[in-house]
Amino acid sequence: MADDPEIVWASAAAQARAVRAGEVTARALVDAYLARIAAHDGAIGAYLHVDADGARARADELDAARDRGEPLGPLAGVPVALKDVLVTAGLPTTASSKILAGWIPPYDGTAVARLKAAGAIVLGKTSCDEFAMGSANEHAAAGPVKNPWDVTRVPGGSSGGSAAATAAALCGASLGTDTGGSIRQPAAFCGVVGLKPTYGRVSRYGVIAYASSLDQVGPITRTVEDAALITEVIAGLDPRDATSIDAPAPALTRALGERVRGLRVGLPAEYFAGELDPEVRAAVDGAVELLRDAGAETVELSLPHTRYAMPAYYVIAPAEASSNLARYDGVRFGARAGGRGAGLLEMYRATRAAGFGAEAKRRIMLGTFALRSGYYDAYYKKAQQVRTLIARDFAEAFARCDVIASPVAPGPAWPIGAMASPVDEYLADVFTLACNLAGLPGMSVPCGFTRAGLPLGVQLIGKALDEATLIRAGRAIERGAAPALAERRPRP
């Protein structure tokens, strides 16, 4: 197995089992991925920083521990990639922004530390939209990431680097963050699994904040099993995060073997209306049919306030971003610009003009406007009231169903540079935003391809803290779709 390149395409769970059993060394696995990164990432641009020496050293430590007969963790030897908003001790963490260029944190965030404790090996940091603000991974200081299925197209965002690296087998699995769809949408565009846990299920300690009431860390993987396994590892109470939920880490891998017979699958009318690409509709319908074939029932639903999710989100998220990013001023945080002797105001202007990209500036200004004296009630407060109505819609829907199925995005990945305006890009998240506003768990599972060979995903939304039902339903879709998907791999 150590000489078999197929190991790089294996699931993270299978890789960990092979390392624990001595069928492959952690060092051989790391070297195989480093070789693939060297050969293929030039065409994709998924990684901002690769820690080859650190990964090899950690692999050698794990192999030595196994040789001594010491027990290894559930992710033993699995090489992982981390979105560049996740703080990592000793590795650059820049949020894909010039304003944090060269910053090397002195500590690991909680999710990163838990991955390492479970035996995962960090290969490096992946590109993302600057400060996680975007839906295409075109807003990174280093330039756009390419979709490994078609390098002329976007991988989705903001966790596009993590999704592209996972899809192209440049890592065994990865972590991303999801504020309005930033795990699920790139997972769908890249043909992998992406899970956004319930808000508060995974600690945000050590995550560079975009919108604090919306951000959530989650896995991007090649299988539903891996999404369950990694979520088990990173979830759980963290006293360093005031929003962390005091609930035990979920035993999600147990749900992998549970049947979906009798499961009630809600189909919200609002998610299947409007300008929905017919190939997306057909693929999602096919995924729902797979659930029916496995014994699930479908229920027609309405989520009437969905129409207000996008305007509410684009008030709340920029307002919180405006507050969070105010600290990057060249004094407290951030690389300082402006010549010697410049006044304070001139230094602020120079630092923020040079340090932030166009999309980050746009959202900071939108948020600052919404929070101005005299505007707060009309915008931010009103948006929070709409958020409550959206959460109530979901609560009423879940009285009639166990899980909701919908498209992830209105269409497949679009060509790089094709969006005519920021609003066009924002509309790509129209089906994912409400899940974040309500704080619910959501998952994207591959369910087909377009005629042009672009991956498509189906979105599953669950009740709060009920990631297990997403795993059950996602596993059923994965099994049913496997014959049609198994032979396809991206060729960057």
Collapse the DSSP code of 123 into the 3-class scheme (helix H, G, I; strand E, B; otherwise coil) and give the result.
strand
CA neighbours closer than 13 Å in the CB half-sphere of residue 5: 5
- For residues 460 and 404, what is the distance between their CA atoms, to the nearest angstrom? 6
Pairing status of strand 455-462 against strand 442-449: antiparallel
Say which of 97, 127, 135, 158 is annotated catalytic: 158
Collapse the DSSP code of 357 into the 3-class scheme (helix H, G, I; strand E, B; otherwise coil) and give the result.
coil
Closest Cα partner for 76 from 248, 254, 229, 238? 229
Whether residue 75 contacts residue 115, with contact meaning beta carbons closer than 8 Å, is answered with yes
Whether residue 41 contacts residue 170, with contact meaning beta carbons closer than 8 Å, is answered with yes
158 in catalytic set: yes
Collapse the DSSP code of 456 into the 3-class scheme (helix H, G, I; strand E, B; otherwise coil) and give the result.
strand
Output the CA torsion sign for 339, 342, 348, 353. Answer: negative
Cβ neighbour number for residue 424 with a 10 Å cutoff: 12
Please tell me the total number of residues recorded for the chain in this structure.
492
Output the CA torsion sign for 476, 480, 484, 486. Answer: positive
182 in catalytic set: yes
- For residues 73 and 71, what is the distance between their CA atoms, to the nearest angstrom? 7
Say which of 11, 96, 127, 182 is annotated catalytic: 182
Residues near 296 by Cβ (< 8 Å), separated by ≥ 6?
A: 260, 261, 262, 263, 264, 265, 473, 476
- Report the interhelical angle of 467-485 vs 224-234 (nearest 10°): 150
83 in catalytic set: yes
Tell me the H-state helices in 107-159. 110-117
Cβ neighbour number for residue 35 with a 10 Å cutoff: 12
Q: Compute CA 484 distance to the chain's CA centroid, rounded to the nearest angstrom.
A: 25
Say which of 83, 146, 196, 463 is annotated catalytic: 83
Token pair, residue 350, equals 């120079």
- For residues 110 and 204, what is the distance between their CA atoms, to the nearest angstrom? 7
Residues marked active site are found at 83, 158, 182
